[in-house]
Amino acid sequence: MIFSIAWKNFSRQGIRAALNVTVTALAMIAVVFNISLYNGFQAQTTRNMIRTDVAGGHYRAPGFDILSPTEWEDFTLKIPTALKDLPPSDKAEVLVQQGQLFPNRRLYPVQMRGIDINQTLLDLPLEGLKSYSGKVNDIIPAVLGIKMAQKAHLKKGDTAVLKWRDQYGVVDARDMLVVDVVTMVNSRVDEGVLWLRLDHLRDMTGRPGEISWVAVKDFQGPVAAMEFQTVEELIADILNLIENDRKYAKIFWIILIFLAGIGVFNTQILNVFKRQKEIGTLMALGMTAAQIVGLFTLEGSMAALLSVVVALILGTALFAWFQSVGLDISHLSESTIPVHENILLDIHSSEVAATLVIIVCVMVLVSWLPVRKITRLDPTLALRGRAIT
Amino acid sequence: MDSIVKLDKVIKVYRVGDEDFAALHEISLDIEPGAFMSFVGPSGSGKTTLLNLIGGLDQPTSGSIYFENVSLGNLDRTALAEYRRKNLGFIFQTYNLLPVYSVYENILFPLLLDGNRESAVRQSVEDIVASVGLSDQIKKKPAHLSGGQCQRVAIARALVKKPALILADEPTANLDAENSYQILELMKKLNHQFKAAFVFSTHDEKVTKYVNREVGLEDGRVRWDKRRNGAGSLE
């Protein structure tokens, strides 16, 4: 009986019930959306790093540090056979050397990064280099990322003087031709980087068969004279950033849940407040306190469950649409965070479940608490609408 | 005749701020089965407090109230709820109908609370709706009824489970003169028909013309207790 009365009460409240359900559903959607956007940002950051640079880890010359350009020349070595024999889909040989570019009579220190042009492990748009022969001529073909091109004021087809030192310390210089300007989702392989063919860079610097590192798909076991750096080590700074970001995201999530809870509490308490006289009437008609508390808690539970259904329907539609467009973060193009494409949501079922459960619990709790309080007071107070003020 | 309700030196004191306010002073009286009576007096005289105490909605500070020789003071909250459900009908000044329910459902509600199946009591509900003259309004919700019609629904709701006692708090206070007379006529008729005792609280002189007994209250004390036969237009 209580169930059918509760359903009748709930389903016939019209706009009040609709408002209650809508507010709660929107609160659920907002909380899940926010945390999923954070997740998406973090997941894409990590994925881009792995896709464009890190792969499954690097075999590096011991002591090589990408942040110490003046030492790059001291940490190259011949590629070991064990790595050289890997197919192009499983490894990418990389040689990094210091250089100086002189676009429009300005000096621009660059990282000359030579990469095996046949590799398919890293997702880098360097097709522009493939049409050139393996022997470097008077003009050195190079591919630039958009950010690099913008900062150096270069565009496709432009030339600029490129200066470097070979393995004996002899300075050499030649014209560099921009054969392509490409979009790089990872700014770390864009800004300050001049992408060259590996065979060209080896030829230019007199380092045949040498590498700074070899990115591999999977760990190949210990390799003599090289040290293996895991994905976690290579993106430690990003992971630390994400870890800190995640802490703030969790705090923000808790704040949002709290705000959503207050919203739900406010709506529910207003609902109960408006129905005080009804509660008093039910007491006068002979309903016990337990029946009344059960009735209102059941109504609150129905509203909560319907809110979950509405949130799932609206949320699915909203999230599906959002996944088709993403969040444009082009305004972050000056940052070094390796995400430049639109951010998509990364929805974790555990977080969705936690959000829904918490809000449902809040809703049921705020249906139960004030009514319980009212039923413990004199029915006359409820009849006069003064049980809760 | 045995009384249905007996009040024995009932005192009710409210705490208002830092001070005690005595709403009722040692009230003792009996109410007979089938009575048609009113508590009369100005605002603050204790009429509504007395009805609430008899209805088990409030507890006396001291003294005892008996319903059919059972002391309400010995009943816990759940037992009091059962007492109200089994024995009482309430009629309120502001009708207190459940707003989302139709006329039919409002009247059906107390029967469902009593554990009846709707199919078993449908005819009883329709009969009482007919007896308060609202058959053509049976599917309407309270918001679509006039004040007089709402009060008729409230009366039907109070009577449908055939209680021994109906407590009506200022039942005509929100009605115009014509509707007040119609409601009083109706209650008088139903008092005869159902043999339930009707106890009003009122300061409406129209009501006092209809009742068989008038208990006058002032400052929480009984000032007069007048009985008369042939009151009201039905007699």
The three-class DSSP label of residue B41 is coil
| Partner residue facing B90 (CB), from A12, A284, A288 | A284
Which of A107-111, A362-366, B17-21 reaches the highest mean pLDDT?
A107-111
Interior angle at CA A379, CA A375 and CA A385, nearest 5 = 95
User: What was the pLDDT predicted at A249?
Assistant: 77
Residue A34 touches partner B, C-beta closer than 8 Å: no
Task: Identify which has the larger pLDDT, A6 or B108.
Answer: B108
The Cα of A12 is separated from the nearest Cα of chain B by a number of Å equal to: 6
User: What was the pLDDT predicted at B189?
Assistant: 85
| Partner residue facing A283 (CB), from B81, B99, B157 | B81
- Least confident among A24-28, A139-143, B82-86: A24-28
To test the contact with chain B by mutation, choose from A15, A281, A372 the residue with the greatest count of B C-beta atoms within 10 A, namely A281
- Determine, for residues B85 and A290 on separate chains, whether the beta-carbon distance falls below 8 Å: no
Residue A383 touches partner B, C-beta closer than 8 Å: yes
* Chain B residue with minimum CA distance to A2: B113
Identify the CATH homologous superfamily for domain B5-227: P-loop containing nucleotide triphosphate hydrolases (3.40.50.300)
Q: What ranges do the domains of chain A cover?
A: 2-51+238-383, 58-229
The three-class DSSP label of residue B115 is coil
The Cα of A267 is separated from the nearest Cα of chain B by a number of Å equal to: 19
Q: Which residues of A touch B57 (CB under 8 A)?
A: 283-284, 378-380, 383
- Determine, for residues A286 and B109 on separate chains, whether the beta-carbon distance falls below 8 Å: no
Report pTM: 0.74
CB-based contact A282:A379 (threshold 8 Å):
no
Single out the residue of B57, B51, B43 nearest to residue B173, CA to CA: B43
Distance of CA B109 to the CA centre of its chain: 17
* Chain B residue with minimum CA distance to A281: B96
| Partner residue facing A287 (CB), from B92, B105, B113 | B113
Q: Kindly give, in sequence order, each residue whose CB lies less than 8 Å from that of residue A99, ignoring residues fewer than 6 positions away.
A: A109, A110, A111, A112, A162, A163, A164, A194
Residue A280 touches partner B, C-beta closer than 8 Å: yes
Which of A97-106, A232-241, A367-376, B182-191 reaches the highest mean pLDDT?
A97-106
Which pLDDT tens digit goes with each residue over A6-36?
888 888 878 878 888 888 899 889 889 988 9
CB-based contact B33:B209 (threshold 8 Å):
no
Q: Which residues of B touch A285 (CB under 8 A)?
A: 84-85, 90, 109-110, 113, 157
Residue B77 touches partner A, C-beta closer than 8 Å: yes
- Determine, for residues B57 and A281 on separate chains, whether the beta-carbon distance falls below 8 Å: no
Q: Kindly give, in sequence order, each residue whose CB lies less than 8 Å from that of residue A250, ignoring residues fewer than 6 positions away.
A: none
**Residue B1 pLDDT > 60:** no
Task: Identify which has the larger pLDDT, B71 or A374.
Answer: B71
**Residue B230 pLDDT > 70:** no
User: What was the pLDDT predicted at A215?
Assistant: 95
Share above pLDDT 70 across residues of chain B, in percent, rounded to a whole number: 97
Which pLDDT tens digit goes with each residue over A150-206?
989 999 999 999 999 998 889 999 999 999 999 888 888 998 999 999 999 999 999
User: What was the pLDDT predicted at B235?
Assistant: 38
Burial B191-200 (b: 16+ CB within 10 A, else e): beebebbbbb
User: What was the pLDDT predicted at A177?
Assistant: 94
CB-based contact B112:B118 (threshold 8 Å):
yes
To test the contact with chain A by mutation, choose from B67, B75, B77, B167 the residue with the greatest count of A C-beta atoms within 10 A, namely B77
The Cα of A321 is separated from the nearest Cα of chain B by a number of Å equal to: 38
Share above pLDDT 70 across residues of chain A, in percent, rounded to a whole number: 96
- Least confident among A364-368, B9-13, B86-90, B108-112: A364-368
Q: Which residues of A touch B100 (CB under 8 A)?
A: 8-9, 12-13
**Residue A334 pLDDT > 60:** no
Residue B84 touches partner A, C-beta closer than 8 Å: yes
| Partner residue facing A380 (CB), from B52, B78, B113 | B52
Alpha-helical runs (H) found in B57-143: 77-87, 103-113, 118-131
Single out the residue of A41, A38, A51 nearest to residue A251, CA to CA: A38
* Chain A residue with minimum CA distance to B113: A287
**Cα gap A17→A364, rounded to integer Å:** 14
- Determine, for residues B85 and A278 on separate chains, whether the beta-carbon distance falls below 8 Å: no
**Cα gap B173→B203, rounded to integer Å:** 8
- Determine, for residues A278 and B99 on separate chains, whether the beta-carbon distance falls below 8 Å: yes
| Partner residue facing A285 (CB), from B94, B99, B110 | B110
**Residue A63 pLDDT > 90:** no
- Pair of tokens at residue A156: 């496709």
Single out the residue of A216, A194, A235, A204 nearest to residue A79, CA to CA: A216
User: What was the pLDDT predicted at B233?
Assistant: 42
Interface predicted TM-score of the whole assembly (ipTM), two decimals? 0.91
**Cα gap A275→A269, rounded to integer Å:** 10
Q: What ranges do the domains of chain B cover?
A: 5-227
CB-count burial class (<10 Å; 0-12, 13-18, 19+) for A85: exposed
Which pLDDT tens digit goes with each residue over A228-285?
999 999 988 888 887 787 788 788 888 888 887 787 778 778 878 888 889 899 999 9
